[in-house]
């Protein structure tokens, strides 16, 4: 069986947050564990959402709060998980159902491609007193009744190539002492590979969620600021045109490279980065309001 780090066991909760009251609070997008295999990650993310007062949150951020709470109480405290899950799906059936349907497909694909064993369950299958198939059937019927029959899931394409990109991305980072000269060389190769894959159609719409997330890993680790700027805008454009649903490390990468005073690309060219971010805000005002947070 192939072994991968926790990235493949998480889903980024990327919910539309447009048009909400400015007085309400937004929780930044974050990965939420779908299985109980990494308790430290579950605890860390639960502690992050607990920094917020639930009643002050925007509706979409309440979903992030309840997702993290469901998984935490299911696998860590082993109580009250159903309370948070029921509250979430009753409040936001459209958003939550879309996440559950996508997560179920992703989980099954990981089993088929031997990233995990067939015995590995995700949280919906572990909720006490719940039938995962009944919940998914309800979600599919709910979505189809209100929004029409959904598009068939994207078939994995170029999965061997993208898997190799991810393996190269992690090759020396998983060592106790990272050989940065060797890893930087592999990161450079990965940038070329990602560019080549994108150039096939000048679009990301043919790639699976896992593949998109691998591309966001490359962005997160890239030290080439010009490349980072170009790919940040590519992700924005793909999100705007609905070619992709999200990218796991996009927001973290933006903060890493472009945050005022501490971002590595900002340090190299403060004026250039400010101009770039201002351009994103003008071109993608609604998305920028949600993604370009915590940069000052």
Q: Tens digits of per-residue pLDDT, 125-142?
A: 999 999 999 999 999 999
Query: 112: Cβ–Cβ under 8 A, 6 or more apart, which residues?
Result: none
- In the chain, DSSP finds a helix count (H) and a strand count (E) of 14, 2
Closest to 97 (Cα-Cα) out of 136, 55, 144: 136
Q: Are 251 and 291 in contact (CB under 8 A)?
A: yes
| Chain mean position to CA 254 | 13
Tell me how far apart the alpha carbons of residues 178 and 148 are, in angstroms, rounded to a whole number.
50
pLDDT score recorded for residue 286: 86
Residue owning tokens 């109480």: 73
pLDDT score recorded for residue 287: 87
pLDDT score recorded for residue 89: 94
pLDDT score recorded for residue 19: 40
What residue ranges do the domains of the chain occupy? 6-147, 159-291
pLDDT (tens digit, 9 = 90+) per residue, 74-102? 999 999 999 999 999 999 998 899 889 88
Tell me how far apart the alpha carbons of residues 283 and 254 are, in angstroms, rounded to a whole number.
17
- In this prediction, the residues of the chain whose per-residue pLDDT falls under 70 are 1-23, 29-31, 113-115, 150-159, 174-176
* Token pair listed for 86: 């029921």
Residue 4, classified by CB atoms within 10 Å of its CB into exposed (0-12), middle (13-18) or buried (19+), is: middle
pLDDT score recorded for residue 11: 44
């Amino acid at each position: 069986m192939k072994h991968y780090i926790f990235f493949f066991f998480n889903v980024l909760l990327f919910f539309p947050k447009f048009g909400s009251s400015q007085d309400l609070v937004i929780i930044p997008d974050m990965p939420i564990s779908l299985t109980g295999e990494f308790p430290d990650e579950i605890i860390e993310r639960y502690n992050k959402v607990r920094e917020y007062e639930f009643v002050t949150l925007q509706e979409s951020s309440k979903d992030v709060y309840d997702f993290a709470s469901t998984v935490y109480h299911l696998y860590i405290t082993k109580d009250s998980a159903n309370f948070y899950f029921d509250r979430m799906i009753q409040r936001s059936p459209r958003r939550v159902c879309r996440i559950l349907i996508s997560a179920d497909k992703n989980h099954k694909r990981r089993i088929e491609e031997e990233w995990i064993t067939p015995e590995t369950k995700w949280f919906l299958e572990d909720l006490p007193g719940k039938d995962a198939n009944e919940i998914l059937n309800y979600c599919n019927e709910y979505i189809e009744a209100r929004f029409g029959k959904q598009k068939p899931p994207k078939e994995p394409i170029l999965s061997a190539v993208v898997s190799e990109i991810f393996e190269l991305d992690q090759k020396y980072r998983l060592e106790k002492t990272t050989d940065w000269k060797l890893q930087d060389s592999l990161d450079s190769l990965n940038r070329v590979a990602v560019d080549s894959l994108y150039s096939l159609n000048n679009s990301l719409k043919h790639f699976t969620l896992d593949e998109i997330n691998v591309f966001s890993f490359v962005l997160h680790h890239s030290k080439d600021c010009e490349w980072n700027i170009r790919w940040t805008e590519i992700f924005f454009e793909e999100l705007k045109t609905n070619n992709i649903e999200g990218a796991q490390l996009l927001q973290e990468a933006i903060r890493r490279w472009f945050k005022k005073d501490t971002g590595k690309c900002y340090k190299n060219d403060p004026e250039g980065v400010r101009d770039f971010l201002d351009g994103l805000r003008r071109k993608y005002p609604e998305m920028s309001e949600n993604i370009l947070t915590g940069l000052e």
